[in-house]
Structure 1
Amino acid sequence: MLPPDAPSRSDLHLLFIPLALAGGVATAVLSSLSLVVGAAVGSLLASLAVVDGLAIHPPTRE
């Protein structure tokens, strides 16, 4: 449980999605991976946040 003044779970999802995508692309740029592979890995990681936010822990009214 997060304290009341902490970011909500949805905020953390919205933070993680672009970080995962950018991290995948950055890894591809800095390594021998192709850009397509890096973007795909970042997309897979970002999709985990989407699934968690919509299916596992869906938004509720508080």
Structure 2
Amino acid sequence: MSAYLAFNLSRLTWIRFTVWLALGIVIYFGYGYKYSLLNQTNELSSARTQIRPVFKRRP
């Protein structure tokens, strides 16, 4: 039923959907790349975000 409704949409609707989908994907991955903890090269910021173990090992 859903496929039937989707295939009967106008061409303009599919173009709008594709443009908005592409824009959303660009924003999503752009934001992720910019604010990724793995992408930080600043020593101060990487020291702040470094993962530390919760439990200390006994000697």
Shorter-chain TM-score above 0.5: no
Which TM-score applies when normalising by structure 1? Answer: 0.38
Judging by fraction of residues, say which structure has more helix: 1
Pair member with larger Rg:
2
Which TM-score applies when normalising by structure 2? Answer: 0.39
- Which of structures 1 and 2 has the larger relative contact order (alpha carbons within 8 angstroms, sep 6+)? 1
